[in-house]
Amino acid sequence: MLEIAALSHFYGKHQALADIALGINQGEIVAILGANGAGKSTLLKSIAGLVKPAPGATIRFHGQSIVEPPAHLIVERGIALVPEGRGVFGDLTVAENLQLGAYPARARAGEADRLAMILQLFPRLAERMPQAVRTMSGGEQQMVAIGRALMSNPLLLLLDEPSLGLSPLLSREVFRALTQIRSTGLSVLLVEQNVRASLDIADRVYLIESGRNAGSGPAAAMKNDPEIQRAYLGKARVASTPT
């Protein structure tokens, strides 16, 4: 459903992405792993139309190019970004934030059903519809942010560090929700510093180093890869020959 080739991006003279290639199929969770500054957020922003790729890039969604359209038209095609730091409106209530998510034309049909699905996904939001979002915990705010993105009726959800700053309990709730979202047929592109949890829920993984593709494969295989374990899961390298 999403195909990316030759994606580069420059911030002034600094090249944040260099020739990235990536694909996502319908109903998949794909995780992007990489060190701080590797270019993961820039990749998500490029897909969402918030930063423009260098000339020559291909980004196709359901066969149509999304390199040119502005961000609000990319939302209309069915791509929703939950940015790092969530981007919720703190002074507005949970209900108002969710309602704002339903602004695209594609979200008008079935809005009530979608809201019901989101409240089933995150029952604690149902209890707090009139509460101002700034008075909620970080995890609850993340649920609002994901719920608001889902209100736009997306086909692909882009998530930037959804578990950042959350307690282990709330992180688990968010990751469980992502697997439920996948079961409805949506695709998820996930950038996460919680590598273990993302390998547990992802179908496939791409590694990015200094803005370049550095490997990819099924999450299950990646979990057992000694290099991944050493670089991302904090496991010491085991000597291959006894001394």
Ligand X SMILES: Nc1ncnc2c1ncn2[C@@H]1O[C@H](COP(=O)(O)OP(=O)(O)OP(=O)(O)O)[C@@H](O)[C@H]1O
Q: Residues in the site for ligand X, rule: CB under 6 A? A: 11, 14, 16, 34, 36-42
CB-wise, 41 or 194, nearer to ligand X? 41
CB of 90 to ligand X, least distance (A): 22
CB-wise, 125 or 188, nearer to ligand X? 188
CB of 142 to ligand X, least distance (A): 16
CB of 210 to ligand X, least distance (A): 9
Contacts of 147 (CB under 8 A, 6+ apart): 97, 98, 101, 118, 121, 122, 125
CB-wise, 22 or 118, nearer to ligand X? 22
In the block, tokens 């059903």 appear at: 113
Cα end-to-end span (Å), the chain: 51
Q: How far apart are CA 212 and CA 191, in angstroms?
A: 15
CB-wise, 35 or 119, nearer to ligand X? 35
Q: How far apart are CA 7 and CA 56, in angstroms?
A: 7
CB of 238 to ligand X, least distance (A): 28
Q: Crossing angle of helices 111-121/168-183, nearest 10°?
A: 140
